[in-house]
Amino acid sequence: MGVEYKRIVKKNIGKLPDKKRIGWVVGTGRCGTASFWNILNKQMGVVCEAEFKRCPWNPAINAFLHNVTRMYGVAVFYQHIYLSVGSAMWFLPYTDIIMDNFPDSKIVCLKRNKEETVRSWINKATTPKGAFRNWFTDVKSKYWGKSNLDGSAKHMFHAYYWCFPHFDLPFEEAVEAYYDEYYRLAEEYEEKYPDNFKIYPSPLVLNNYLLQVNALDWLGVRNPKCQKIKRNESW
Domains of the chain: 3-219 (3.40.50)
* pLDDT the model gives residue 88: 97
pTM of the model: 0.91
The string of pLDDT tens digits covering residues 161-203 is 999 999 999 999 999 999 999 999 999 999 999 999 999 999 9
Low-confidence spans in the chain with pLDDT less than 70: 1-14, 145-157, 230-235
- Residues in contact with 209: Cβ distance below 8 Å, sequence separation at least 6, in sequence order: 226
CA angle 58, 61, 67 (to 5 degrees): 105
* pLDDT the model gives residue 151: 47
* pLDDT the model gives residue 235: 44
* pLDDT the model gives residue 202: 96
Asked if 148 and 172 count as a contact pair (C-beta separation under 8 A), the reply is yes
Phi and psi torsions of 201, nearest 5°: -70, 135
* pLDDT the model gives residue 3: 63
Asked if 29 and 89 count as a contact pair (C-beta separation under 8 A), the reply is yes
